[in-house]
Amino acid sequence: MIYKTLTKQEFINEFGTYDEGYANCFSYDGLSTLYNYFDDIGYSEEPSFELDVIAICCEFSEYENLEEMLSDYPDDYASLKDIENATLVLPTESGGFVIQQF
């Protein structure tokens, strides 16, 4: 199998090649955060992985702020710490979050 190392911009562009349902799953900031996360774990856990845009859109969600994130889980989680104890939380540079669905 042939693997290609993607730059951050190539990774972001791959999401734009899908229809609106997947092309708009994340902001530029969210995609940058995901790229940095995958780049970091790629060097420490696996030498490579296959990019699956649809799987990433199903496995992760982006929230603009803590209030928006907590509104999706109103009965079970009252704070950022509660969600961090349940799943992976990646802060974005703009103050939002990308979380792994749980």
pLDDT in tens, 48-67: 678 899 999 999 999 999 99
Position 2 pLDDT exceeds 90: no
What pLDDT was estimated at residue 18? 81
Structure tokens at 12: 């972001």
Q: What is the band of 46 on the pLDDT scale with cuts at 50, 70, 90? A: low
Per-residue model confidence as pLDDT tens digits over 4-21: 788 899 999 999 888 777
Output the pTM of the full model: 0.86
Position 45 pLDDT exceeds 60: no
Where helices occur in the chain by DSSP H, the ranges are 8-16, 20-23, 28-44, 53-59, 66-71, 80-86
